[in-house]
Amino acid sequence: MAKVTYIEFDGAEHVVDVKNGLSVMEGAVKNNIPGIDADCGGACACATCHVYVDAAWKDKTGTPSAMEESMLDFAENVEPNSRLSCQIKVSDELDGLVVRMPESQH
Amino acid sequence: MTETGAGVVIVGAGHAGGSAAAFLRQYGYQGPIAIVGDEPVAPYQRPPLSKAWLKGEADAESLMLRPLTFYAEQNIALILDVKVTALDRAARTLRLSDGRSLPYDNLILATGSRARPLPVPGADLKGVLYLRSAADAEELKAALGPGKRLAVVGGGYIGLEAAASARALGAEAVVLEREGRILARVAGGVLPKFFQAYHEARGVKFELGVTIEGFEGKDGHVSGVRLADGRVIPCDEALLGVGIIRNSELAQSAGLECNDGIVVDIRARTADPAIFAIGDVTHRPLPLYERMVGLESVANALEQAKQAAADIVGRPEPAHEVTWNWSDQYDIKLQMAGIPFDSDDLLVRGDPAAAKFAVFHLKGDVIRAVEAVNAPAEFMAARQLIGSQRPIDRAKLADTMVSMKEVAAG
């Protein structure tokens, strides 16, 4: 279980508990947090669950796969700390994780 | 439009219907919303049913489009396990199979599609299955396992995904296809040839150009597929994936225009100003290709759900999207965008033998569609280029040493 803070583009904060094994994307969808569309449901096929990982958490969330990186390359407003949240699995390690949402997923 | 306080009623609790309700609330709609669905469960995602879920890599909870608490919190009524038996447009009222009447101010028809049956003898035997609903998927999964033999009728994406999942579960699989190749609706032979070889290397057998004459049974359960050439392909289960039928009967009986689906405009409106239709059930305009089409995909369900919700709350028309879809088979991720209408040439970038390539369908130097195999950059770039209709440099596109960023930059 990890406490994850999701910050919408307008600054609205949502702090929720996310079960181990779920993705950061699923944590948002299950808690009705807006700003992550996840059109493909987590298949790494659409790049609509784009988030910015807070600097302090960059290492712990791991490195994106080649597939994820290529998808991100063509998303809008990509930053060095951009990730697809469906590809970050939650574990105790990530307790306290903070992610921010872009203005739009499309 | 007269508001009676009856709010929005959505018929169909699939990806389209569930999403429409969510978008309405997201866009600030405050009236009542009810979703009527004929399955006993809240809206869920169908794509994993033939993919991750069938292989046992996803659980039932992860299929849910939204958690149940969402509907309570958002004040969206779920009326499940109930069919709509009649639509009275003059009275703006639905009649439900449980005897109730349900009035509406706005109606969104999201009745989806159903698996096309195969009208041959024996199709009603036990073990002749379809893959459309979670219940269908449960039945198929329970029937698969080591030593079991699955016959897949139809070499489309559903059939191929099911065959791949069957192999992952240890079952044998044979794909029977009427046409001379699999993926018959895909333009060009590169992709079908690639997928057939990939499946064959993993133990799937193919019978192409065959006609199904019927199913043989033993004690009421399917035991084989009888072909027109006299052969019988033995099997323990048969899965039919031979296309869909749009569930437009309710609309049709209410006098709404249908043409292989409910005819809608680019805002998902029917000719009745109170009634919208979204998702698989529609026959919709595709402005980029200047055509009316039927699309069966999550992307289409979401795009039209947004169109209907935006129109109901008075938001501007959402931007047109490039239609896309995906398929997972073994370790292959296939991503597709656009439709190859009017294309006059194929260009293959990458190496099919390395299972990393993309097939571009071109009209002159404009990309109309792409099928990308383990090639996400090609998919993402093409999606943007299909939308912008910007001509590309063919030599650069064919050269994998030139990045897709550079190709897209022109």
Q: Do B381 and A46 touch (CB under 8 A)?
A: no
Question: With contacts defined as CB-CB under 8 Å, which chain A residues touch B62?
Answer: 26, 42
All CATH 3.30.390.30 domain ranges of chain B, comma separated, are: 331-409
Residue B382 touches chain A, beta carbons under 8 Å: no
Considering only the beta carbons, identify the residue of A26, A41, A45 that sits closest to B335: A45
Instruction: Tell me which architecture the domain covering B128-240 has in CATH.
Output: 3-Layer(bba) Sandwich (3.50)
Question: With contacts defined as CB-CB under 8 Å, which chain B residues touch A64?
Answer: none
Q: Which of A73, A87, A104 to mutate to test the interface with B (most CBs of B within 10 A)?
A: A73
> Which class is domain B331-409?
alpha beta
Q: Rounded to whole angstroms, how far apart are CA atoms B175 and B195?
A: 12
Residue B289 touches chain A, beta carbons under 8 Å: no
Residue B67 touches chain A, beta carbons under 8 Å: yes
Task: Show pLDDT as tens, one digit a residue, over chain B (410 residues).
Answer: 456 789 999 999 999 999 999 999 989 999 999 999 999 999 999 999 988 888 888 888 889 999 999 999 999 999 999 999 999 999 999 999 999 999 999 999 999 999 999 999 999 999 999 999 999 999 999 989 999 999 999 999 999 999 999 999 999 999 999 999 999 988 889 999 999 999 999 999 999 999 999 999 999 999 999 999 999 999 999 999 999 999 999 999 999 999 999 999 999 999 999 999 999 999 999 999 999 999 999 999 999 999 999 999 999 999 999 999 999 999 999 999 999 999 999 999 999 999 999 999 999 999 999 999 999 999 999 999 999 999 999 999 999 999 999 999 98
**In the CATH hierarchy, which fold is given to the domain comprising A2-100?**
Ubiquitin-like (UB roll) (3.10.20)
Q: Rounded to whole angstroms, how far apart are CA atoms B394 and B406?
A: 12
Residue B333 touches chain A, beta carbons under 8 Å: yes
The closest alpha carbon to B35, from B90, B112, B89, B88, belongs to B112
Q: Report yes or no: B25 and B116 within 8 Å, Cβ to Cβ.
A: no
Listed in sequence order, the residues at least 6 apart from B117 whose beta carbon sits closer than 8 Å to its beta carbon are B123, B130, B240
Residue B339: phi and psi, rounded to 5, are -135, 135
Considering only the beta carbons, identify the residue of B45, B335, B408 that sits closest to A41: B45
Question: With contacts defined as CB-CB under 8 Å, which chain A residues touch B43?
Answer: none
Query: What is the signed CA dihedral for B356, B359, B364, B368, rounded to 10 degrees?
Result: -110
Q: How many Å lie between the alpha carbon of B274 and the closest alpha carbon of chain A?
A: 27
Residue B370 touches chain A, beta carbons under 8 Å: no
> Which class is domain B8-114+244-313?
alpha beta
All CATH 3.50.50.60 domain ranges of chain B, comma separated, are: 8-114+244-313, 128-240
Q: What is the pTM of this model?
A: 0.94
State whether ipTM is beyond 0.85: yes
> Tokens 């930053």 identify what position?
A79
The count of residues in chain A is: 106
pLDDT tens figures, B129-152? 999 999 999 999 998 999 999 999
Q: Report yes or no: B239 and B129 within 8 Å, Cβ to Cβ.
A: yes
Q: Which of B26, B73, B74, B298 to mutate to test the interface with A (most CBs of A within 10 A)?
A: B298
Domain definitions of chain A by residue range: 2-100
For CA atoms B27, B31, B37, B40, give the dihedral sign.
positive
